[in-house]
């Protein structure tokens, strides 16, 4: 393994946007010897600085844990110094390399032209496993990985995988590990999926006829949402999709499945905060961003602001919704959220 020098890198993200990096780990290997592991916790770039419940469940990093940390861009020079011009390795390098490029772009940094190799692809070439996820490969090679999705631990494990494969094969460079061996296709499932008809169906949407605004007592034509056509994307923490659709219909809005030219508002869940659809990576958010650029007025509402407009019936005897805020009469051309709720 003499001459085998590289830096293994791993990033963790705060939400579904790849550039929302909140942790970075780098392990340095020179001449076949693992020398040091560095790690940084950071705030994601400003436009992507929100934490999805799903991502928190994966890596355990919360907004509170990084609120006093410097942003990703402030750590960039330290990361570059740790890499020190070495070729890069990551397990599923396509994700980590694109995350770094996006985080750099969002931070106003020129993205580096780094040479990435993938320890996952190397593992598929040289090992015959049921799974090539990092914990599975590490276990197969006898590599300790105590805290998966800890950026430092994952970077170290990726480095050790490369070193173990090089030792097994006699490879003297990353290129040899990438070229030799057989790239194994994904294994087919031994147990076939059940027929589609037998799978449980998650009913997040109404049948078409139920999308019509219901005749609910208390619906106010002057309500801030009255007359709007509203689409939801991402999961809300406080409401199911069905409850959210019921709620907005009760105040005069029309729930819709997809973003079209009739859409006037998009509600974004997954703990998103803000009003920029470009900061949220779903098809619906991208479509809203495109239509806005073409001149269509579409408001973006995060969950906090939506809840300001909605108030659950305190009696709790039924699933009815009551809206007690007093709103001035207005046309449904925009949702004036600054008037009806906090912006933080």
Per residue in 44-94, pLDDT tens? 999 999 999 999 999 999 999 999 999 999 999 999 999 999 999 999 999
Name the nearest CA neighbour of 301 among 270, 339, 335.
335
Token duo for residue 107: 């931070």
38 confidence band (pLDDT: 50, 70, 90): very high
Angle, helices 151-169 vs 119-126, to 10°: value is 40
Stretch 15-32: mean pLDDT: 95
pLDDT given at position 242: 84
pLDDT given at position 238: 84
C-alpha 168/C-alpha 225 separation (Å) is 64
Tens-digit pLDDT profile for residues 109-122: 999 889 899 999 99
Longest Cα–Cα distance in the chain: 78
Q: If you search the block for the tokens 């998103």, which residue do you land on? A: 272
pLDDT given at position 239: 83
pTM above 0.95, yes or no: no
Stretch 160-168: mean pLDDT: 95
Angle at 123 between CA 117 and CA 128, to 5 degrees: 160
Percent of the chain scored above 70 by pLDDT? 78
pLDDT greater than 50 at residue 287: yes
């Amino acid at each position: 393994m003499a001459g085998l020098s590289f830096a293994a890198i791993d990033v963790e993200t705060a939400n579904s946007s790849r550039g929302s990096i909140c942790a970075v780990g780098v392990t340095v290997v020179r001449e076949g010897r693992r020398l040091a592991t560095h790690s940084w916790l950071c705030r994601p770039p400003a436009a992507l600085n929100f934490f999805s419940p799903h991502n928190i469940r994966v890596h355990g990093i919360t907004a509170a844990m990084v609120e006093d940390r410097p942003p990703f861009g402030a750590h960039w020079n330290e990361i570059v110094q740790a890499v020190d011009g070495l070729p890069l390795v990551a397990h599923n390098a396509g994700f980590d390399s694109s995350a770094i490029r996006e985080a750099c772009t969002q931070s106003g940094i020129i993205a580096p032209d780094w040479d990435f190799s993938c320890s996952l692809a190397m593992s598929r070439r040289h090992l015959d496993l049921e799974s090539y996820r990092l914990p599975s490969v590490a276990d197969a090679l006898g590599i300790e990985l105590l805290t998966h999705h800890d950026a430092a631990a994952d970077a170290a494990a990726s480095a050790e995988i490369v070193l173990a494969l090089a030792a097994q094969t006699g490879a003297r460079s990353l290129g040899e590990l990438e070229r030799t061996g057989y790239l194994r296709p994904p294994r087919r499932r031994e147990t076939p999926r059940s027929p589609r008809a037998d799978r449980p169906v998650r009913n997040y949407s109404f049948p078409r006829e139920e999308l019509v605004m219901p005749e609910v007592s208390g619906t106010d034509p002057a309500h801030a949402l009255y007359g709007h056509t509203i689409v939801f994307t991402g999961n809300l923490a406080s409401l199911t999709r069905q409850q959210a659709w019921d709620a907005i219909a009760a105040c005069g809005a029309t729930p819709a499945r997809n973003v079209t030219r009739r859409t006037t508002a998009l509600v974004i869940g997954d703990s998103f905060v803000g009003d920029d659809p470009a900061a949220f990576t779903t098809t619906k958010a991208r479509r809203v961003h495109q239509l806005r650029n073409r001149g269509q007025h579409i408001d973006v509402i995060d969950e906090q602001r939506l809840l300001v407009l909605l108030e659950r019936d305190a009696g709790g005897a039924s699933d009815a919704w009551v809206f007690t805020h007093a709103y001035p009469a207005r046309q449904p051309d925009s949702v004036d959220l600054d008037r009806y709720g906090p912006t933080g």
